[in-house]
Amino acid sequence: MKIAARLKAVKPSPTFAMAAEAAALRQQGRDIVDLSVGEPDFDTPEHVKAAARDAMARGLTKYTPIGGLDVLKDAIVEKLRRDNALAYSRAEVMASCGGKHALYTAFLALFDEGDEVVLPAPYWVSYPDMLVLAGAVPRVVETTAAAGFKMSAAQLEQAIGPRTVAVILNSPSNPTGAQYGTEELRALGEVALRGGLIVITDDIYERLTATPVPHLGTLVPALRPDLVVVNSVSKSYAMTGWRIGYTAAPAELIRAMTVLQSQSTTNPTSIAQAAAAAALTGPQDSVDTMAREFTQRLALMVDGLAAIPGLCTPRPQGAFYIFPDASAFFGRRGPDGPIATAADLAMYLLRHVGVATVPGEGFGAPAHIRLSYAASRTVLEDGLVRLGRALAALD
């Protein structure tokens, strides 16, 4: 069958090969320590599930307005005010089927063919491909572990060319856990403002940090006409399967995105909308409990990885990922042959000690592997022992 040319430039998710191999090994009865997951290992809070059950009982099972029910829009407005000190109105927010869909819809609504978008690397795997699908060109800015995997204001300034229209900031970051500090954010915002850039902030991990920072929108208020705030209930409320994300932006963009959404998914699931509204406005203690637990696991991972010779592990500040440089092992030999890349190393770790990780290539960081600590401490301790054993066994 003929497949559209636009798919030629798009790669499937790089986690796919690892996930498929891990699933195959599990089916053979192998005991796999999965450090590849991108979702909290906590359950959705009970009051959120109750809101979904109640929505069903009330017959909230039909189409809703395209950008979401008023109750959800009001919850988003309230959340942005409470957590971020950002003032948006109903007309300036909308819900989509997950943060990913919110980002994709925003990209389609914002970018023309050939528009350049600054993307600091390491980046979340989906940004480049979603940008390419929208006709935009990722303008990748390399960051270093020494700089905490953060793009400086000077780097942003240098990256701006005649076709650059936007920059994407994801803090705390997937895959590095790096989080911009207040002054770093302010400096980036001022450069973006001078350069006339649209700033897209992907705030999906904002609550999973021990050290919250003010939102860019409050640090550089003049950016507001060009600010696009994307967030989701997926990670903060352990609701990845519910598929509710949201955007706050000038009404003009929200109107354009609503037109696009009306011709693609219509509305996000009605029942999940009710659950998301309850998550955003109900008790927030589950978020704090989860964030505290992640902070303790982070300490466990930092200490555990530091004790493994050859791995060089920058300390993350948030989210639930840690991103060691494993390039010291490239050129060594495993039982299946030479380890030349992060993908080879990740496959070796999976096959020989049953530890699933994600190789760094897809994140634009081929020297690294990503480990998720969204797993119990017992699992993490087991994973660290296996990792140490596997790496020590390489010739």
Ligand X SMILES: Cc1ncc(COP(=O)(O)O)c(C=O)c1O
Provide the minimum distance between the beta carbon of 231 and ligand X in the complex, in angstroms, as a whole number.
8
Q: Of the two residues 148 and 304, which places its CB atom closer to ligand X in the complex?
A: 148
Q: Does 323 bind ligand X (CB under 6 A)?
A: no
Residue-by-residue DSSP string for 329-350: GTT-EETTEE--SHHHHHHHHH
By CB under 6 A, residue 234 contacts ligand X: yes
Does 124 help bind ligand X (rule: CB under 6 A)? yes
Structure tokens at 267: 């509305």
Instruction: Return the bridge partners of 94, or none.
Output: 247
99 binds ligand X (CB under 6 A): yes
Is residue 383 a contact residue for ligand X (CB under 6 A)?
A: no
Judge contact between 125 and 363, C-beta under 8 A: yes
Smallest distance from the beta carbon of 39 to ligand X, in angstroms? Answer: 7
Closest to ligand X by CB, 174 vs 270, is 174
DSSP character for 12? P
For 95, the 3-state DSSP assignment is strand
Binding segment (CB under 6 A) for ligand X, from list 185-193, 218-226, 232-240, 291-299:
232-240
Over the Cα atoms of the chain, what is R_g?
A: 21
Residue pair 321/176 in contact (Cβ under 8 Å)? The answer is: yes
Q: How far apart are CB 203 and ligand X at their closest, in Å? A: 9
Q: For the purposes of burial, counting CB atoms within 10 Å of the CB of 265, is it exposed (0-12), middle (13-18) or buried (19 or more)?
A: middle
- 148 sits in the region (left: phi over 0; alpha: psi -120 to 50; else beta) called left
Are 309 and 292 contacting, i.e. CB atoms less than 8 angstroms apart? no
Smallest distance, ligand X to C-beta of residue 199, A: 15
**Site residue total, ligand X (CB under 6 A):** 13
Instruction: Calculate ∠ Cα 49-297-388, nearest 5°.
Output: 130
Nearer to ligand X, 103 or 390 (CB): 103
> Both tokens of residue 349?
């770790």
Give 104 or 348: the residue with its C-beta nearer to ligand X: 104
Binding status of residue 245 toward ligand X by CB under 6 A: yes
Contact with ligand X (CB under 6 A): which of 15, 44, 84, 170? 170
174 binds ligand X (CB under 6 A): yes
3 state DSSP class of 358: strand
> Which one, 175 or 304, has the nearer CB to ligand X?
175
| 363 close to 122: Cβ distance less than 8 angstroms | yes
Does residue 240 belong to the site contacting ligand X (CB under 6 A)? yes
Identity of the residue, 38 or 359, whose beta carbon is nearer to ligand X in the bound complex: 38
The DSSP bridge pattern shows strands 358-359 and 369-372 to be antiparallel
Q: Distance between CA 100 and CA 13 in Å, rounded? A: 13
Task: Name which of 164 and 174 has its Cβ closer to ligand X.
Answer: 174
Q: Least Å distance between CB 127 and ligand X?
A: 8
Q: How far apart are CA 128 and CA 352, in angstroms?
A: 32
Residue 240 vs 341, nearer CB to ligand X: 240
232 part of the interface to ligand X, by CB under 6 A: yes
Q: Nearest distance from residue 240's CB to ligand X, in Å?
A: 5
Smallest separation, CB 234 to ligand X (Å): 3
Q: Which is nearer to ligand X, 204 or 272 (CB)?
A: 204
Close Cβ partners of 236 (under 8 Å, ≥ 6 residues apart):
204, 206, 207, 208, 279, 287, 290
Residue ranges in 180-219 that form contacts with ligand X under rule CB under 6 A: 202, 204
Strand partners, 232: 245
Q: How far apart are CA 290 and CA 233, in angstroms?
A: 14
Question: Minimum Å distance from CB 84 to ligand X?
Answer: 17
What minimum distance in Å lies between the beta carbon of 331 and ligand X?
Answer: 31
Work out whether 128 is an interface residue with ligand X (CB under 6 A): no
Site for ligand X in 24-83 (CB under 6 A): 38
Q: How far apart are CA 176 and CA 305, in angstroms?
A: 15
State in angstroms the smallest separation of the CB of 125 from ligand X. Answer: 8
Question: Under the rule (CB under 6 A), what is the footprint of ligand X?
Answer: 38, 98-100, 124, 170, 174, 202, 204, 232, 234, 240, 245
